[in-house]
Structure 1
Amino acid sequence: MNAARLAAASAATAEQEASERRTAARTLLGHPLLTSRRHPEELALVRRHAMALKTTFSRVLGYHLIVESSFARLVKAPLSPDGPQRVARRGDGPAFTPQTYALFALACAALLAPGIGEFVLISSLVDQLRADAAAAEVTLQDSPAENRRLAHALGLLIEWGVLSETDGSVQAWAERKEEGVLAVHRSLLPHLLARPLRDAASLQALWAVPEEPAEPRRSLRRRLVENPLVRREDLSDGERDVLSRERSELTRLLDEHFGLTLEVRAEGVLAYDTDGALSDVEFPGPGTVRQAALLLCDALIDLGRPAAGVSAQLADGDTSGMLVAWSTVADEVTHLTERHHRAWSGALVADPGQLQAEVIALLESLSLARGTPEGLLVHAAVARYRPAPHTAEPSRATRRLHDLSAPAADAQTGLFDAGPAREVR
């Protein structure tokens, strides 16, 4: 009896350890930079399993994990070029513009200046930033708009835990030039960039993607972990071979280490998170743009009624998906604004063109659609968001019979043929 209890306790402990490692890995994927000030519990969990996590990220994805007493930094590899563009933003705020990126880089450089200590006045930091900009022949304006952009750039450093507002706020400085004090997490600053600046002889060298030996297993895992979905035509021959021959092992790895479920269809493959916690873009969700995007997807499928395996002829060749003329997209967006004008944002209802632009940007960020000169290319994965018809809750016996008789998902089944599914990361 004692031996049985000991074995049961050991199994429970091992299961708990595995669950904690999976939670920590998921946290790092969603937040590659954790600090003790902003994420004390998450960082404590990462530190507890630091060795196992370093091994997992290195072996499975080829990522480098840095764990210190006050922070953890997951250094990822560059994203695949076929994935959606990731634009920096603070929370739900506006996306970074080229000017904001420039101010962000200048702010990071200013924080590394010899005269900057553990605490710095906002005005002193701004003075250093402007001096660095002048030395680099970057023109900055002392205007309210420029100050708001600078506050936006500093706000991201605050969100990351690199800076902390100890007295006053960056926003108050931007609006009224009120002085404030910022605490600087200096030990974290050198790790903001994936590669040290000293290794880059030029700007082109800094942005260049480092050459790596071809490892289709690793590159496929990266695609699935980082991208909302992966089109089959974007996979290399080696990646397609891995997907075909090692699907069971791939499924096990993604579930065991990151809690992701693999789904393979004729048009592509995705690893989805049933909790929706790993997505950096909430969809479906509240708000005019998200609601309009969901309804537009449903309307376009109703209009086109695409079959599995549908493809579109574009200037650069055939590609999977349904091509919808821009005029049709505009008509549907206008129709939706007329139907939902009472519930949606008045500014967007009054400007359907702006609403359409924001909806398309959202769908592109999820790899659900792509704007082309010929029209909007809608990926078959939009069918996963179609509302399911309401039916009575099946009995327990009915569910059991269905589970026993239901066949496994066929990799050749098209997404346009499949029923509604869960949220895609």
Structure 2
Amino acid sequence: MRRWRWASWPTRVAADAVRIDGLGLDTAHKADRDAFVDAVTWLTERGALTLADGSATAWAGDPERAEALYDIDREIVTAVHHPTRVLQHLSSVTALLDSAGALGMSAGRAAQRRDQARRARRLVLENPVAYYADAGAELLGQLRAPALAEDLERLTGLTVERRGEGVALVDTSGKLSDIRFPGGGTVAQAALLLAARISAAVQRAGRHAPELLPAPTAAERLAARARRIDAALPSRGLITELAGPDAESVYEESGDVGQEPGETRYPFVTYSWLRGRLKEITGEYGAGFAADLRGDPDRLLDQALDLLNAMSLIARVDGGALALPLLARYRGVTARVKTRTTAGPPSQTALFAVDTAKDPTP
């Protein structure tokens, strides 16, 4: 642990910042001092710095009279400060996400393996499920390795569930998830019931069996989202030239989540079929739905499909959706509309209960 006195650091950081085109730091300007304090606060929240005395905020208000003293945790600073590229040389989300391209072949095989293990952990941690069909050869071995489950369970306290098609980190508490599924509300309930109907339909055999089509890989879906964001960014001239390859080449070369040889195909259901199933669901359970969505089935269907897509249960494609393996988890769903008795006569309300029987072999 090392102690850091505030007095000289803003000046030293300012001297480094002016060397970076488009950055700069002038402590004579209040806005720049506030930005510097924001950066220090970010490091403090992550344990890299600990305030020992004084106040950084007070310094931002009056740099001539206020002072601050911090303790530095070098281990955390080292872990935090591992930039894989100079951010000022990036002008696109595509280049920012090119984690594989950031580590050159000269880094050594051990460093490359560590990087692949880190990317595999992030893939499982940041997504509802990591499908093996989406993983390139480099990541596939890491996803299947016992160390991945051991590391994630130790670091998060959650349970890693591994099936034939992929691996998922199960967060039953909902504390680490930004979207809960199954969940409450009209869209989530309609999506769950729709998931059960899709899952049942894809089990049909013979002439009623659904058509099998390839799904966009995770790399292609990520690249498409990145391109949509990048399309809205202004051109930055020279910086654009320094940013590197475009979206297509980045994801083809990265090996981060590329498709393995041998295309995987998934059952396809049409949009008209989905509309029909939602109509059935609304007719049976609509009393438990919000009135505005019950009266706008196309909007309800679109939002329900978006939720299923976000949870990697389906892949939305032109004309309908592809059923992904995790959808089988919700094959045995039952539901009922509850009634609430008020002071007057009994009335049916928008209370909706769903019980899920999880299929052990999705």
TM-score by length of structure 1 reads: 0.43
Bigger-Rg structure (1/2): 2
Structure with the higher fraction of residues in strand conformation: 2
